[in-house]
Copies of this chain bind each other. A is one copy, B any other.
Amino acid sequence: MIGAMKAYHTLVACAALLAASPLAAQRSEYVTPGDVIAKAAAEEWVAIAPADLMVMDLAPDARGKPRRVVIQLMPAPLSQGWVGNIRKLVAARWYDGISVNRVQDNYVVQWGDASEKKALPDGLETVGEECYVLAYGLPCPFDASVDADKVMSSEADIPSAGDNPPVFAPVQPPKPWLDYGDAYRATIDFKQGWPMAFGFGKAARPENWPVHCYGMVGVGRNLSPDTGTGAELYTVIGHAPRHLDRNIALVGRVIKGIEHLSSLPRGTGTLGFYENADERVPILSVRMGDEVTDLPAFQYLSTESTSFAAYADARANRRDDFFIVPAGGADICNIPVPIRVAP
């Protein structure tokens, strides 16, 4: 067994934030996911605007080390009602002083106002459930003049990719992941750097929705028809709870520092809530990225790029020395979109 720990290093990692493999330069004959990322052209990387980042500073850990979590908010046209609320909550400094109150193993970390008494700022939008998805011909917010029950009864009613920009039909090759299948009966795809699903909803209308992969950030809510404001948020720290898709708003993803949330002690109360107030982790401040002076510049690998398709293929068919049988497929949540600090 001597050497096993070192050899295990060759196993290319499934991490929320993928860095170029340190072995890539030495083993250029292999096409690992890390190789593909390292070789991607500069123009395949897309800058993430600092104004779309939310920087959450937790209280320092027991050793006094700072704990910063960086969250990328979802771009238009997805979930913009809640994203707008979140921007207002940051501007009002409402999140400053709240806490992480729930850590449930293999599920979520959740933060909010444990007192449930902190007044919300004025002007927050009440977003409708129709906005959990982008549905063909069904506006969000809902427009009462639209016949929402008009059934899409034939394939001819399904739009092509260009007909209705908010809904994309996943038809453009090469997208190896379109062949992988999905246990949740959706067609999976990526759009503007985000994992997305395509399927059929109300009145058989084609619709898109974001999916609950590791690190995605969503909005806690009460029972339907409540949809939450954005004051209470959670992130996924386990196997993708895809049953939450279309049932709760996703608004972003953690792109740096998720380990500060995922490694917190699990709560011992119901559903992982902390039972004692002193277990809660204080959130010192939440600022938008363009308010923070020492934030690096982040980029994501364009999901429409040639390199991203090659990267997905390399994740589904591992070719480095460690692997003896390629899977021939991969779950959408096991193809995390590469994100890096700009070189």
A binding-site residues for B, Cβ under 8 Å: 1-11, 13-16, 22, 62, 101-107, 110, 112-114, 116-117, 120, 129, 132, 180-185, 188, 201, 213-215, 220-224, 226, 228-229, 231-232, 238-247, 258-259, 262-266, 270-273, 315-316, 318, 321-334
Contacts and interface: CB of A to CB of B under 8 A. Distances in A.
Nearest to A188: B183
25 contacts: A1-B120, A1-B232, A4-B220, A4-B221, A4-B226, A5-B112, A7-B226, A13-B104, A14-B241, A14-B243, A15-B105, A106-B262, A180-B185, A183-B332, A183-B334, A184-B330, A185-B328, A224-B322, A245-B325, A246-B324, A247-B322, A247-B324, A259-B265, A263-B264, A263-B265
Given A247-B323, A271-B11, A185 B329 contact: yes
Given A106-B16, A224-B321, A243 B5 contact: no
Contacts of A132: 325
Nearest to A225: B324
A222 B113 contact: no
A331 B239 contact: yes
Shortest beta-carbon contacts, A-B, top 5: A7-B222, A259-B266, A183-B331, A246-B325, A1-B231
B243 A107 contact: no
A9 B101 CA distance: 12
A258 B104 CA distance: 12
Given A181-B181, A259-B266, A334-B240, A15 B107 contact: yes
Contact of A327 (B15, B213, B242): B242
Contact of A239 (B4, B10, B184, B239): B239
Contacts of A229: 1
A330 B9 CA distance: 32
Contacts of A16: 105-106
A328 B334 CA distance: 21
A277 to B, nearest CB: 13
Contacts of A259: 105, 265-266
Contact of A243 (B228, B258, B315): B315
Contact of A321 (B181, B223, B266): B223
Nearest to A260: B266
A101 to B, nearest CB: 7
Contacts of A223: 7, 10, 321-322
Contact of A334 (B241, B318, B321): B241
Give the one of A226, A228, A263 with max B CB within 10 A: A263
